[in-house]
């Protein structure tokens, strides 16, 4: 019995590791190409981005690879009548499937850690490389297209001579009109400051448009906040927090909500004491309600995020629960046909259920645990098929 289990496990590991390497490499190349085209990165930044993109590539590759390896091994065993021979010897298909289920459970735990690493360390690392390479990216875009636009920043030039921008026009659209400005000059140079999260523009012979309008032949420096450049004024998204950081962020959100409620109470009491009842109108409290609604939505997203990552990680086990009985039932050696036969209902059922449950959980319509609905459906279906296979 142990020999048979080791045989199945060894066959599964060989196919899994080989397929994982190939599929990860394929997805990795696609991600690298996407970043190169989107951000205009050169070879140096792309090489520095490699360790951060690798977990993201594996994040997508692991569940599909686990299903492909399962359908390949058990399809081959079933096609060669090894499953029938084992049943004739009194060995249940459950025994043959046990090592695969154990491996899938262990892989699912690893996938949870991998998902956590990819969305936190991986994404932030990619963003860090982009910021550090921002100067190079902008110069390359200006050389190729004579313009660069990202977020609330737009740069147009007549030409580029080395590091010198010829007749540049830089416009920044900030959060408020006071933060917005437009500046044209005879020439300029760019330099980035990743530590300060600023892009420094050194202008010569400027003409400034905005709150003030004037021309000057002197050289001045103007700093552009990277939040404007990257189009992100909201801070980190809940999906970019590591699981260990989510608890702390939920507490900070709860503290902000408590401070907001105390501020509302104080404002109401002050309005009643001074007789300023206009301050109690609905319009006066719209800003408070907007901030309060944003904090409640943030708390719901932070509550959903751990369930989403664990459910996504344990999709490996759910896929295997369907893949094993499906491959045995077909009794065909064409593993690709078995794979797509399993993956089609997963594509049509699991992923829509996951997306719908996540959206409704974020809206507060259902509890966060509803994110596991897709996994539960696959598990019930797989166990039912496995029971039918064992009985027949």
| Residues in CB range of 9: below 8 A, 6 or more apart | 99, 100, 103
Spatial separation of the C-alpha atoms in residues 233 and 127, rounded to whole Å: 15
Cα separation, 156 vs 133, in Å, equals 19
Question: Domain residues of the chain, as ranges?
Answer: 2-133+303-391, 152-230
Q: Decide: residue 177, CB within 10 A, 0-12 exposed, 13-18 middle, 19+ buried.
A: exposed
Looking at the whole model, is its pTM more than 0.85? no
CB 160 within 8 A of CB 142: yes
Contacts of 119 (CB under 8 A, 6+ apart): 59, 239, 240, 309
Give me 94's structure tokens. 């459950």
**Residue that has been written with the tokens 């010198």 in this structure:** 164
Residue linked to tokens 């010829």: 166
| pLDDT tens series, the chain, 392 aa | 677 788 888 999 999 999 999 999 999 999 999 888 877 777 888 899 999 999 999 999 999 999 999 999 998 888 888 888 888 888 888 888 999 999 999 999 999 999 999 988 998 888 888 877 888 888 888 888 899 887 778 899 999 998 899 989 988 887 667 778 888 888 999 887 766 777 888 888 776 555 555 555 677 888 887 766 665 544 568 888 899 999 999 999 888 888 888 877 777 777 677 766 566 665 656 777 778 888 889 999 999 999 999 999 999 999 999 999 998 888 776 767 778 888 888 889 999 999 999 999 999 899 999 999 999 999 999 999 999 988 87
In whole angstroms, what separates CA 382 from the centre of its chain? 28
Structure tokens at 73: 């091994």
Measured CA to CA, the distance from residue 332 to residue 74 in angstroms comes to 9
pLDDT in tens, 270-294: 767 776 656 666 565 677 777 888 8
- Euclidean distance between CA atoms 285 and 11, whole angstroms: 65
Q: What separation, in Å, do the N-terminal and C-terminal C-alpha atoms of the chain show?
A: 21
């Amino acid at each position: 019995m142990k020999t048979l289990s080791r045989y199945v496990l060894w066959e599964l590991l060989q196919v899994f590791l080989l397929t994982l390497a190939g599929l990860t490499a394929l997805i990795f190349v696609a991600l690298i190409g996407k970043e190169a085209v989107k951000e205009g990165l050169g070879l140096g930044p792309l090489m520095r981005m490699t360790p951060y993109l690798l977990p993201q590539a594996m994040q997508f590759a692991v569940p599909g690879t686990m299903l492909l390896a399962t359908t390949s091994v058990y399809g081959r065993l079933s096609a060669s009548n090894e499953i029938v021979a084992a049943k004739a010897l009194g060995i249940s298909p459950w025994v043959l499937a046990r090592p695969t289920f154990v491996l899938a459970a262990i892989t699912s735990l690893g996938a949870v850690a991998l998902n956590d690493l990819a969305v936190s360390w991986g994404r932030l690392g990619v963003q860090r490389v982009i910021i550090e390479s921002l100067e190079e990216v902008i110069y390359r875009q200006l050389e190729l297209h004579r313009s660069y636009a990202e977020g609330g920043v737009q740069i147009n030039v007549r030409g580029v001579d080395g590091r010198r921008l010829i007749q540049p026009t830089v416009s920044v659209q900030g959060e408020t009109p006071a933060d917005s400005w437009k500046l044209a000059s005879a020439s300029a140079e760019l330099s980035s400051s990743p530590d300060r999260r600023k892009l420094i523009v050194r202008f010569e012979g400027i003409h400034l448009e905005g709150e003030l309008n004037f021309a000057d032949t002197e050289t001045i420096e103007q700093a552009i906040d990277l939040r404007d450049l990257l189009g992100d004024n909201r801070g980190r998204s809940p999906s970019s927090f590591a699981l260990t950081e989510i608890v702390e962020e939920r507490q900070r959100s709860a503290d902000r909500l408590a401070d907001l409620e105390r501020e509302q109470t104080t404002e109401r009491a002050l309005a009643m004491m001074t007789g300023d009842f206009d301050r109690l109108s609905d319009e006066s409290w719209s800003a408070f309600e907007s901030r309060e609604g944003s904090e409640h939505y943030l708390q719901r997203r932070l509550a959903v995020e751990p369930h989403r990552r664990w459910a996504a990680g344990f999709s490996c086990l759910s896929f295997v629960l369907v893949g094993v009985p499906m491959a045995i039932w077909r009794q065909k050696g064409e593993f690709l046909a078995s794979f797509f036969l399993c993956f089609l209902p997963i594509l049509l059922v699991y992923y829509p259920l996951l997306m719908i449950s996540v959206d409704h959980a974020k809206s507060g319509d259902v509890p966060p645990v509803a994110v596991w609905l897709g996994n539960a459906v696959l598990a019930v279906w797989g166990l039912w098929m496995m029971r039918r296979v064992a009985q027949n």
